[in-house]
Amino acid sequence: MKKHSARVAPLSSYSTQVLTCPVAEGEDGSESHADSPGSEASEDSRSYHTCTSTLLKVLGGLLVVLCLSSSWVGTTQVIKLTYHSFSCPFFISWFSSNWNILFFPIYYSVHVLTTRDKQTPIQKFRECSKLFGEDGMTLKQFVKRTAPFSILWTLTNYLYLLALKKLTATDVSALYCCHKAFVFLLSWIVLKDRFMGVRIVAAIMAITGIVMMAYADGFHGDSFVGVALAVGSASTSALYKVLFKMFLGSANLGEVAHFLSTMGVFNLLFISCVPLILYLTRVEHWGSLSSLPWGYLCGLAGLWLVFNILVHVGVVLTYPILISIGTLLSVPGNAAVDVLKHEVIFSVVRLAASCIICLGFLLLLLPEEWDSATLRFLSNLADKKSEDHGEELTESSVNGRSRSRANGVVSIPLV
């Protein structure tokens, strides 16, 4: 056969046109070979906005953590300073709890400034009153819903203040962190939450820290009483949070602000008789109203109010785990103030007990699916390493074959 060759001149320019064929409704498109630039731009913008919102949420959470820990450290230290001139813990607790009335006015003010909602305070108050039932807040619902939470709130604060009279601020704040373990145990028993072995270990660590703290100065004297009071405060706090989750778990921020203001009203109306009885029986003697340290009392109540606002608002604005970390950071914060200002010397047993309690607190912050998520992460990491190793072997074999062919050597695989 004869060989024929043709000489073809190269094209000066080469252009292609992309033909798009619209698919009518009801027809199936088997493959999509080209994406529109608009969809790619929209995906990029969505990913950009997602990353930006996540970054802002994390930065806002870190700011909330810093403010939360600072307010709680300030509250604890101001209580210790107030005791130098005014040693009436129940009156301090009652006076600070009355400031809860300001919750709803603060919420409504911020709500009006940040939204275009033109509801009057009465309309907004009635809207948030649905938390008490379809009929709103009646006297029966007011007493029924508010009384148990107000009593637990008062007991938590009063026992915490009593513990600060016996122990240092660091010890009390560390023991108060045990409330996280008590919340898990009560949620597991009452709310039938998922059982987690690591949280049981954390609860055991918290109990171990409590025993070590009580053993530091022997099981007698003010130290043991202070530990018992701090643990009692953590227990009532855990019971309050579990009941709050049970009855008010689906409440929004406005309803929570309404409920806390209602608790302040209940405290002012029905619990005001208790400090009066303590005054008449000389258990807590105030003296004249002009002799009270109003500066310390108002500063303490303001810091306590800021702490509670940050706890409830921070859960909405940022990640709940950061709120728990902010509470935990109060332990080293109080320790720094005790060492630098009050020149407190901590024993080895107390330091070990505080570290064990804080470690158990961190274990309780692990999410429910942490074990499966960790296994998935490790398996994905192992698969990625194996893929990288396979790619390296493939590249090395290709390079070896190319070198062999360059040297005139051909490798024949054995069958």
What's the average model confidence in pLDDT over 172-188?
90
pLDDT at 149 over 50: yes
- Span 291-334, pLDDT tens digits: 899 999 999 999 999 999 988 887 777 777 888 888 899 999 99
State the pLDDT confidence band at 162, using cuts at 50, 70 and 90: very high
Q: Please name which of 107, 89, 101, 141 lies closest in space to residue 267, comparing C-alpha atoms.
A: 101
- Span 38-61, pLDDT tens digits: 555 566 667 667 777 777 777 877
Instruction: Name the percent of the chain in helix, strand, coil, to the closest 5.
Output: 75, 0, 25
Considering only residues 235 and 245, tell me which one the structure prediction assigns the higher pLDDT. 235
Provide, rounded to the nearest whole percent, the portion of the chain with pLDDT above 90.
33
Considering only residues 193 and 218, tell me which one the structure prediction assigns the higher pLDDT. 193
- Span 201-211, pLDDT tens digits: 888 998 899 88
- Span 94-125, pLDDT tens digits: 999 999 999 999 999 988 888 877 788 888 88
Residue 113 has what pLDDT? 87
Residue 38 has what pLDDT? 55
Task: Give dist(CA 169, CA 152) in Å, integer.
Answer: 22
387-403 per-residue burial string, b: 16 or more CB within 10 A, e: under 16: eeeeeeeeeeeeeeeee
- What is the pTM for the complete model shown? 0.77
Residue 174 has what pLDDT? 92
